[in-house]
Chains A and B, each alone.
Chain A
Amino acid sequence: MSAAPMIEARGVHKYFGGVHVLRGIDVSLAHGEVGALMGSSGSGKSTFLRCLNRIEEPSEGQVLIDGTVITDQRTDVNRVRADIGMVFQDYNLFPHMTALENVSLGLIHVRKRPRSEAKDAAASALEQVGLANHLTKHPQQLSGGQQQRVAIARSLVMQPKAILFDEPTSALDPEMVHEVLDVMRTLASEGMTMVVVSHEIGFLRKVADQLIVFDAGLVVERGPAARVLDEPEHERTREFLRALR
């Protein structure tokens, strides 16, 4: 294992027009670490997450993936993104494709793998998330939980260095939340580096190594999940956790 952190953000700022959304964020996650971002809506956590694969362009500061500066304008951003998975709140599967086509798309067109090989890899990724029986279904034939697992398989199949999760369970019905969290838990235990925006306290307590609390574009508190959840130091963290219960 190399010494450089897998994901590192140095002084990341983001302006939307005149609005200062991120006001200097520093985050560092080692290989295999799970970082959780919390904070009320508008606190900047999702914007920060999107800066990590430059789906949102940081206005200032650096993002390093596995020791490489990706915020450099010369970086091939498509290659960077292929190495970082991303899972969205509302799944964002491609509705005109089957589950298998959704998952194999990146392998075929980004990794330039032969079609048959890509389909095999996609099938095994879908099997990994428990959807071996749904390969030929279209997203609208799948439940929310199943769609989100396809989305995870779509990231997974690229063999990414890390996966970013943007509120992966908040659009799901309660009974489907656990099936997605189970997959994420397995991933974490297999050593996947993950950054998760989530408010699933029970899940974070077990899985997150670092809990990072955002407020108004700043990190107000960070530390081991259990410590932050049980003995929050910052007033905003306490207020936020109280509101969650």
Chain B
Amino acid sequence: MTHALIKPRPIPLVLMFFASLGYLLAAPATTGTGVVMDVVMTVTVFVLFLFLFVPMQIDKGISDWLKNISALALLVLMIVTFFRWADADWGRLRYLFFNVEVMSRPGVMMRMLSGLWIAVQVFLFSLVLATLLGMFMAIVRSIVRDALLNFFIDMYVDVFRSIPPIVLLLVTYSALPYSGIILSPFATGVVALTLIEAAYLTEVFRSGIEAINRNQVLSARSIGLSAWQAMRLVVLPQSVRIVLPDYSNRLIGLMKRTAETSVIAIAEILKVSQDLQSQFVNATPMVVGALLYLVVLFPMTRIVSRLEKTRPRT
């Protein structure tokens, strides 16, 4: 009877939970009995998880506050267990990864922030160029119905979707000078990211254009609008709303992919963090770099989640 197994018995289990929490906080783990008790209590944590927490999340008969309390309490219990069992060197961890002194040295934060600014610039340039190029290819593909042209666009899209960005970055960076094209690392990075992003965006825009009923185009053409006018005035305004969630997801991905331009010595967040890390033999800049990405990307991600919930039905 599986039902009997997952039937929650909240009150005795909650009592047991607090008993083990109290023990974990109070008992020394150094003595023989202490270690045995620790093992017993750690096992108890997982038993509690299985028999208290999981059924509580499933069973609708249990009030929400009890579910929340049990979840929180369990989290606390697991953290406490980790602290008691982990062979941690907190002082060293703090010195290497959360070192305020390193970050407050002159010019360090400025370099980090200029890295952020350069990352944002790479992002914006590639985004605008890739959007224009992707939009252009998607529109051409659906208006000009020319087999050869469509074949070239399809090939472009599939080729550039098959190349890892970091590889394209390294190849263009090292090969371009030999073809007589001398670009700054920044320009090379923008070009490489644009080429790849344009391929994906072509597909995004194309799906948006194709999602619009063909009758809308027929109807627009029947009042005398040209193919381009029908696209601009009738199809695209409707496609934009359909495409927006996918487009924003690509946009977030592109911001993250700017980190890969560090391999061609663009002084964006990751590159600056790595340089500072080796300069000070300290990983704190890397942690701060991660936080900078978070500061930019977390709000973006939240907004996109909202957009996805309001995606119009097609």
Contact = CB atoms under 8 A, between A and B. Distances in A.
Interface of A: 53, 55, 78-86, 88, 90, 92-96, 105-106, 109-110, 154-155, 158
Q: Which of A55, A92, A95 counts the most chain B CB atoms within 10 A?
A: A92
A158 B223 contact: yes
Given A92-B215, A96-B237, A105-B233, A79 B224 contact: yes
B218 A88 contact: yes
A88 B223 contact: no
Contact of A94 (B216, B218, B222, B226): B216
A80 B223 CA distance: 9
A123 B131 CA distance: 38
Nearest to B240: A96
Contacts of B221: 55, 78, 81
B224 A78 contact: yes
Contact of B233 (A83, A84, A109, A154): A109
A79 B223 CA distance: 9
Closest 4 CB pairs of A and B: A82-B224, A92-B219, A86-B222, A106-B223
A240 B270 CA distance: 75
Contacts of A155: 223
B226 A78 contact: yes
B229 to A, nearest CB: 6
A94 B234 contact: yes
Contacts of B237: 96
A53 B224 CA distance: 10
B218 A109 contact: no
A109 B221 CA distance: 12
B238 interface: yes
B225 interface: yes
B215 A90 contact: yes
B238 A55 contact: no
A110 B216 contact: no
Contacts of B234: 94
A96 B312 CA distance: 12
A16 B27 CA distance: 85
Contacts, number: 58
Interface residues of B, number: 17
Nearest to B215: A92
Contacts of A55: 218, 221-222
A88 B234 CA distance: 16
B233 A81 contact: no
A158 B218 contact: no
A119 B229 CA distance: 19
A86 B221 CA distance: 10
B37 interface: no
A77 to B, nearest CB: 8
Nearest to A84: B222
A54 B94 CA distance: 75
Contact of A81 (B213, B215, B223): B223
A86 B220 CA distance: 10
Nearest to B220: A94
Contact of A82 (B215, B218, B223, B238): B223
A96 B216 CA distance: 11
Contacts of A53: 222
B239 to A, nearest CB: 10
Contacts of B215: 88, 90, 92
Given A88-B215, A105-B233, A110 B238 contact: no
Contact of B224 (A90, A92, A93, A110): A110
Contacts of A106: 223-225
